[in-house]
Structure 1
Amino acid sequence: MLKVATVEQIQQISAPHLSYRHTGKPTPSKRKQARTASHTGALSDLRKHGLAENGGQLPGGDRLRNLTPMGLKAAARELGRPVGETGDPARGAGRTGASHPMTVNEAVLALLRPKPNLSQLASEPADVLAAAQAAVDAPAGLGTIASYATEVALPATGT
């Protein structure tokens, strides 16, 4: 699980085909807003239910989203792992610019190399299809997102 992420990072991992859509929008900001709208709405729902929270802003203006303690429990249940393996919430990451979590997320994205689903891009312009096809043809990534654990639970007793 990514404890701290931007909406765009969540979109890139969960729906990589959206990275190649909305090229008709006039500005990069409008294209990003269109790509991430559904994820922003989903995060709003998670926030309403106490599973996620806004965690501050990055220097470039992107807002961070954090999992709350209840969100960590839900993620552990979904992943079939003990709650103790999720670690603590990443509170305060937004105040410091979240350089470490953002670097971890970008490294995970680079290693995963999420592939877009070309069937979901069938009605897109040729340049969009060409960019998506290049991503599909690129070498496969290394493992799944579950392969990248950066926290390990240590025993509370012993030496």
Structure 2
Amino acid sequence: EKDLQAIRDYYLNNGYAKAQITKTDVQLNDEKTKVNVTIDVNEGLQYDLRSARIIGNLGGMSAELEPLLSALHLNDTFRRSDIADVENAIKAKLGERGYGNATVNSVPDFDDANKTLAITFVVDPGRRLTVRQLRFEGNTVSADSTLRQEMRQQEGTWYN
């Protein structure tokens, strides 16, 4: 399964956004000393990334999130790993503002005639979270107040 995922990743990171492994077959020879592995791949077209945008209930954070799109290589070969990096960066930025359960889905829009695709990042920040209580267990050496001073996260503040 790891090998199949490595093959999928190779295609997805080299522009083949619709690549699919259509069939796998494993055969032993009659003496059972050799294995023949066959993997059928339908790679489809190789796409360039045409454009990217972020939509959703962004709560006034559009200006902070838009620069994250600069990590993408527009008008260059589509790479799924770049898309995943931007998804994670959006989640991290929202997490800094208290949106610890944000979801980000990337939705491709294919233009087969021009072999390009556009990506729309659909963002749902979810509810903003606050830290209700910090509790230290098993601590017998330091006072809780000393430990709290060392924490970046404080009670009553937005989750980060």
TM bucket by the smaller chain? under 0.3
Higher helix share goes to which structure?
1
Bigger Rg, structure 1 or 2: 2
Normalising by structure 2, we get a TM-score of 0.22
The higher relative CO (CA closer than 8 Å, separation ≥ 6) is in 1
Normalising by structure 1, we get a TM-score of 0.22
Higher strand share goes to which structure?
2
